[in-house]
Amino acid sequence: MTKKKIWVIDDDAIYQIIITKIIQKTALFSAISSFRDGKEGIVALINTIENKELLPDIILLDINMPVMDGWEFMEEMGMLQSLKNENISVYIASSSIAIEDRNKSKKYPAILGYLSKPISLNDIELIASND
Amino acid sequence: MSSKNNRLKYFSWFLTKPRTTGFFAFLFLSTIVGYIGYQQYKIVEDDEQYAMRNKLQIIRQNIEQSLKNSYTTTLTLALTINDKGVPENFDSIGKKLLASNQTISAVQLVPKGVIRYTFPMKGNEAAMGLDILKSVYLQKEALKSIRNQKMYFAGPINLKQGGVGIVGRLPVFQNNKFWGFSAVIIKLEDLLKSSGAYGIDSAKYYFQFSKIDPASEKEVFYLPKENKFSNNYSAAISIPDGDWRIYLTSKHQNYLYAQIVIPAIFGLLLAGLFGFLITLMLKKPAELQLLVEQQAANLSDGEIKFKSIFDQAAVGIAYMDSFSGYFLEINEKYCKLLEYSEQELQNRTFQSVTHPDDLKEDLSNLEKLKQGTIREYSMEKRYLTKSGKIIWTNLTVSPLWNIDEKPSTHIAIVEDISLKKEAEQLLIKSKMSFKNLFDDSPMPLWEEDYSAVKNYLLELKLINESGKTVSSYFRNHPEVVKKCFSLVKIVNVNNQCLIQYAPKTKSELLNNVDLLFGEESIPSFSKHLEAICKGKRHLMMDAKIKKPTGEIRDIHFVYSVLRGYEDSLERVIISTEDITERKIAEKKIIDSQKRTESLINTIDGIVWESDIESFSFSFISKKVEQILGYTSEEWIASPTFWADHIHPEDRETTINYCILKTSQNLNHDFEYRMIAKNRSIVWLKDIVTIVFENDKACGLRGIMIDITKNKEAEKDLKYSFNMVTEQNKRLLNFSYIVSHNLRSHTSNIASIMSLIESSDSEQEKNEMLLLLKSVSNSLNETMLHLNDVINIRNNIGLVSESLNLNQYVETAQNALSEQISTHNVSILNEISNDVTVNYNPSYLESVLHNILSNSIRYRHPDRKPIITIKWLIEDKRKVLQISDNGIGIDLVKNADKIFGMYKTFSNNPESKGIGLFITKNQIDAMNGNITVESTPNIGTTFKIYIR
């Protein structure tokens, strides 16, 4: 089993530190990348495609972010044609418990799950094993 | 012939002009009188001349005789001269000579021109010694005498010895040698006396004696010149011996005229008289001639007139043979009437064209005429025309023979009276039908005689009195009214009267007027009498009448005076239609109408009725005045009143909706605003029902209900609802913020806690504890923010003050001065110094600080930041506008987030997503509003609306 690449897109600096620690603990991922908002994520995706580097297998996406939020990120990602055949699993990781957000996430086929913060070790393991 | 004719013409011309002829005659005779007068004058004049010449001749002869005597004397005297040239016996001879010749006053001998001898000497001494040949005055004559050897008479001269005299000098030659003169001196007076000149009738003539002055050769007159004389009336003769002339002049110059003037005048008068007589004489026949001509003209005129009357007459005229009855002459009208031509009729008798039924009467009349018992007759009779038609005519026959003459011919005049006959027939018919109409009329009709009433009213002096007087009189005298009623005489009544007023026969009703009069009739009959007093001929009114049974009925009373009886009121027609049932029905209708109306007026809405096409109102209940302020009358008066007073904003939609629903025959209700009389806006709910008549929509009825209060309540409700919704949204937002922000921290804490638990090393644990500390700080910060927000929300009773805006802008600038200078920001403040706003001071400070710092924070890295602050009025709202040239925000994506909590749009570490959130909340708390316009890379503009 090859280790997977995981990207975390979240504006909460503390969360980024915590989630990195947790992911490292699972030791299920080969690489962890962090981005402060959706815009940075999209730019990174485009760069990765252009540089023909390895795309992430899993993206943990926050909803409320400055510059570009989670939903906008999903729209932009959907417009990237070269990702059509790629299998990138997106998981929402939000502190929002609003049912609207949960429902909205179901509209995007690329979103495989909705995780409510706090994210536990088990959650990551489950995501990793899901593929 | 022609000349004779001409003469006749002239003659008649004179005859017809008597005045001219008279004048010509007068002229002619006057000429003759003038001629005769002239001739007469000539004869008289010649006679006069002759007589005067004769007289002068005699005087001349006498003078010449005297001169001859003088000659003899001088000769005799010369003989006294002897051969020696000395006179002998001069004095004695001189004495003898003087004695024999009375006229000579002296004799002289003048040897060699010097007067030497004179007899008598006495009185003549002065002349002695005068040398004649040397005297200038005498010289010429003396020399002439010597030359001619003839005696010459000089003078008359003024004699030296005095007086005027003539000196006759005879030259004496001795032996053919001039010796001297023998002279005589004759006093002029003596000469004239002896000539008989003084014997001339001095009353008739002047005598004159003249001589040509030898020196001046001018004629000198010696006798006193009494009057100028003309040649015509004087005679003159020359006496050569002394170059003298003697004259005789008529003293009365006009004498001759007087001789002829009187006869001339007499002749002229005669001529005038004669001319006048001729005029008179000629005038008479001219007048007679004129009269004759007039008569002739009249005669021919009459003939033409009668001819044309006969031909053109509008009646038929025929000249008939009285015995046979043949038509002799027929005019055009006659022919036309009978449809025969003139020739056809001339071969017929009147008997053949007369209707057989009328022939007998006609013939008997004619017989009477012939016998002389009547002098003319006229009758209505029928003729048979050529086509067999019967025509009615009026025939008048007049005989053309005198009473004592035998019947011969007559004139028949016929007038077409077919129309009249027809009219008569019609009249009879219409009379009949009128009678039937009267008798069988379904309305009771009365023919009555009011003359007695009128006379009674006249007696009372009520006719033409003022209405007031009359009516008060009747009010006070009901017995008069009753009396008047009894004076009404019923002449005739129709069948309906009998039916309604019960009596079985007409006479029963005719004699019982009182039957119909009760107390109830008094007011209406008084009114009737008042109308009669005013002279009204027609009257219509509702009245009451008592039936013989005692029942009181309502009637419609119509009174009308028949034409021709306007003054006497002897015939009037009265109809008394029974309207009792109608009155009852009417009352019912009125009652029901009143009930409906009061019902309508109690409804708390405007009840109306309108035309289905034009929406013009035919009824609107009184409630309209209460609800809209307009009166029903005002509303009904204008056909477009409703449409005109709908609120302009609602008008089109309202009317269109109404038209649409009406066209679909659907009852409908709708709401709209109307402008009331006091200009206020009234909300109405209009419930419309379509009225059908015979399955056809024919009108609209409805009720307008005032729903202004409901509308206001609705508005309030809507407002509160909006407010509540808004607050709810904010609350939700707030709770969401709270939950989200707190949750993000709590989840972090939870994660850290689990990491600590599962940590293997002490180092890791410490690491996690540090992390936990920063989470705690974040949480604290969040809690502070939330506290701020809660504080804003709780500040309901905020204190507002009037603040100088510029002062606050400056304060904000000062607070940010470090950043401004660091980033070299230009702030352009365009607000004038006097702008003040009513705001909470700390909020204003906070708002300005947040927005300005926001603008500085999101400045564009490539250009110098410029911030412009303006104050404007937008749609009557005060606006504080702050614009920058910063990086801008993509509003398409972020419009709903910009004023949210913890919404940041960049990764700027200073972005906390709290400034605009608080700003928005503060502005909301001040009942204001904030909007944003932005273009990425160009700039952002915030507009703060201040109440």
Q: Which of B164-178, B182-196, B198-212, B766-780 is modeled with the greatest confidence?
A: B766-780
pLDDT at residue B1 in the model = 46
Q: CA geometry: angle at B513 spanning B508 and B516, to 5°?
A: 105
pTM of the model: 0.37
pLDDT band at B515 (very low <50, low <70, confident <90, very high): low
Between B211 and A43, residue with greater pLDDT = A43
- Note the Cα B766 to chain centre separation in Å: 126
The answer to whether the CB of B443 falls within 8 A of the CB of B575 is yes
Backbone torsions φ then ψ of B381, nearest 5 degrees: -145, 160
Check pLDDT > 70 for residue B253: no
For B258-272, B707-721, B789-803, B873-887, which range has the lowest pLDDT when averaged over its residues? B789-803
Check pLDDT > 80 for residue B204: no
pLDDT at residue B341 in the model = 87
What residue in A sits closest to B746 (Cα-Cα)?
A118
pLDDT band at B129 (very low <50, low <70, confident <90, very high): confident
Contacts of B674 (CB under 8 A, 6+ apart): B628, B645, B646, B647, B681, B682, B684
Q: What is the ipTM of this complex?
A: 0.86
What residue in B sits closest to A69 (Cα-Cα)?
B905
The pLDDT of B453-474, averaged and rounded, is: 85
The pLDDT of B134-156, averaged and rounded, is: 75
Task: List the beta strands (DSSP E) in B473-602.
Answer: 489-493, 538-546, 552-561, 572-578
Looking at chain B, the whole-number percentage of residues with pLDDT higher than 90 is 8
Query: Tens of pLDDT along B745-783?
Result: 888 888 888 888 888 888 888 988 988 898 898 888 888
DSSP B87: B
List CB contacts (< 8 A) between A67 and chain B. 904-907
Q: Does A42 touch chain B (CB under 8 A)?
A: no
Q: Per residue of chain A (131 residues), what is the pLDDT tens digit? A: 578 899 999 988 889 999 998 998 888 888 899 998 888 999 999 999 999 888 899 999 998 887 788 888 999 998 888 887 788 899 999 887 778 888 999 998 889 999 888 888 888 888 888 76
List CB contacts (< 8 A) between A25 and chain B. 758
pLDDT band at B257 (very low <50, low <70, confident <90, very high): low
Q: Rounded to the nearest 10 degrees, what angle do helices B521-533 and B478-487 cross at?
A: 80
- Closest approach of B882 to chain A, Cα-based (Å): 23
Q: Does B49 touch chain A (CB under 8 A)?
A: no
CB contact under 8 A, B905 and A12: no
Check pLDDT > 80 for residue B221: no
Q: In 10 A of CB B177, how many CB atoms?
A: 8
CB contact under 8 A, A95 and B744: yes
The rounded distance, in Å, linking the Cα atoms of B416 and B129 is 146
The pLDDT of B608-623, averaged and rounded, is: 88
Radius of gyration of chain A (CA): 14
What residue in B sits closest to A67 (Cα-Cα)?
B905
**What is B314-371 written as a DSSP string?**
SSEEEEEETTT-BEEEE-HHHHHHHT--HHHHHTSBHHHHB-HHHHHHHHHHHHHHHH
The pLDDT of B218-235, averaged and rounded, is: 62
The pLDDT of B564-586, averaged and rounded, is: 85
Partner-chain residue, chosen from A66, A72, A95, that has the shortest CB–CB distance to B906: A66
Residue of B733, B745, B748, B759 to mutate for A, most A C-beta atoms under 10 A: B748
- CATH class name, domain B441-585: alpha beta
pLDDT at residue B906 in the model = 64
Q: In 10 A of CB B845, how many CB atoms?
A: 17
- Please give the CATH superfamily to which domain B313-424 belongs: PAS domain (3.30.450.20)
Between B355 and B44, residue with greater pLDDT = B355
CB contact under 8 A, A14 and B750: no
Residue of A14, A20, A75 to mutate for B, most B C-beta atoms under 10 A: A14
Contacts of B578 (CB under 8 A, 6+ apart): B444, B500, B553, B554, B555
Check pLDDT > 60 for residue B725: yes
The rounded distance, in Å, linking the Cα atoms of B337 and B314 is 10
- Closest approach of B945 to chain A, Cα-based (Å): 27
- Closest approach of A80 to chain B, Cα-based (Å): 19
- Closest approach of B901 to chain A, Cα-based (Å): 11
- Note the Cα B827 to chain centre separation in Å: 86
The answer to whether the CB of B384 falls within 8 A of the CB of B355 is yes
pLDDT at residue B185 in the model = 80
CB contact under 8 A, A18 and B751: yes
* Identity at B41, one-letter amino acid code: Y
Query: Tens of pLDDT along B368-418?
Result: 888 888 888 888 888 888 888 888 898 898 888 887 788 888 888 888 888
The answer to whether the CB of A33 falls within 8 A of the CB of A58 is no
List CB contacts (< 8 A) between B904 and chain A. 66-67
The rounded distance, in Å, linking the Cα atoms of B216 and B233 is 28
Spell out the long-range contacts of A104-108 with Cβ–Cβ below 8 A and sequence spacing 24 or more.
Answer: A104/A71, A108/A74, A108/A78
The pLDDT of B475-495, averaged and rounded, is: 84
Domains B441-585 and B603-706 share a fold: yes
Q: Does B72 touch chain A (CB under 8 A)?
A: no
Check pLDDT > 60 for residue B231: no
The rounded distance, in Å, linking the Cα atoms of A73 and A42 is 7
The rounded distance, in Å, linking the Cα atoms of B614 and B601 is 25
Q: Does A67 touch chain B (CB under 8 A)?
A: yes
Query: Tens of pLDDT along B285-327?
Result: 778 888 888 888 888 888 888 888 888 888 888 888 888 888 8
pLDDT at residue B883 in the model = 94
CB contact under 8 A, B743 and A18: no
* Average of per-residue pLDDT values in chain B: 82
What residue in A sits closest to B735 (Cα-Cα)?
A98
User: Which residues 6-35 of A are in CB contact (within 8 Å) with B?
Assistant: 11-12, 14-15, 17-19, 21-22, 25
pLDDT at residue B904 in the model = 67
Question: What pairs with residue B383 in β-bridges?
Answer: B354, B391
CB contact under 8 A, A98 and B736: yes
List CB contacts (< 8 A) between B775 and chain A. 14
Q: Does A118 touch chain B (CB under 8 A)?
A: yes
**Nearest Cα to B748, choosing from A44, A22, A107, A80?**
A22
Task: List the beta strands (DSSP E) in B615-743.
Answer: 617-620, 668-675, 681-693, 696-706
Pairing of the two strands B801-804 and B866-874: unpaired
Q: CA geometry: angle at B361 spanning B410 and B312, to 5°?
A: 40
Q: Does B401 touch chain A (CB under 8 A)?
A: no
Q: Mark residue B562 as left, alpha or beta (left: phi above 0; alpha: psi -120 to 50; beta: remaining).
A: beta
List CB contacts (< 8 A) between B729 and chain A. none
The pLDDT of B813-832, averaged and rounded, is: 89
Q: Does A120 touch chain B (CB under 8 A)?
A: yes
Kindly indicate whether the domain formed by B603-706 is annotated with CATH number 1.10.10.10: no
Please report, in angstroms and rounded to a whole number, the separation of the first and last CA atoms in chain B.
Answer: 141
For A19-28, B58-67, B85-94, B341-350, which range has the lowest pLDDT when averaged over its residues? B85-94
Partner-chain residue, chosen from B748, B778, B907, that has the shortest CB–CB distance to A36: B907
The answer to whether the CB of B758 falls within 8 A of the CB of B739 is no
Protein fold of B797-946: Heat Shock Protein 90 (3.30.565)
Q: Rounded to the nearest 10 degrees, what angle do helices B478-487 and B467-476 cross at?
A: 100
What residue in B sits closest to A73 (Cα-Cα)?
B893
The rounded distance, in Å, linking the Cα atoms of B515 and B517 is 6
Between B236 and B479, residue with greater pLDDT = B479
The rounded distance, in Å, linking the Cα atoms of B668 and A121 is 70
Q: Does B722 touch chain A (CB under 8 A)?
A: no
- Closest approach of B756 to chain A, Cα-based (Å): 11
Longest dimension (CA), chain A: 39
CB contact under 8 A, B913 and A66: yes
List CB contacts (< 8 A) between A40 and chain B. 907
Contacts of B607 (CB under 8 A, 6+ apart): B600, B619, B620, B621, B623, B701, B702, B703
CB contact under 8 A, A120 and B754: yes
Check pLDDT > 70 for residue B258: no
Check pLDDT > 50 for residue B100: yes
What residue in B sits closest to A62 (Cα-Cα)?
B744
- Closest approach of A100 to chain B, Cα-based (Å): 12
Query: Tens of pLDDT along B522-537?
Result: 888 888 888 888 888 8
Give chain A's domains with CATH numbers: 4-130 (3.40.50.2300)
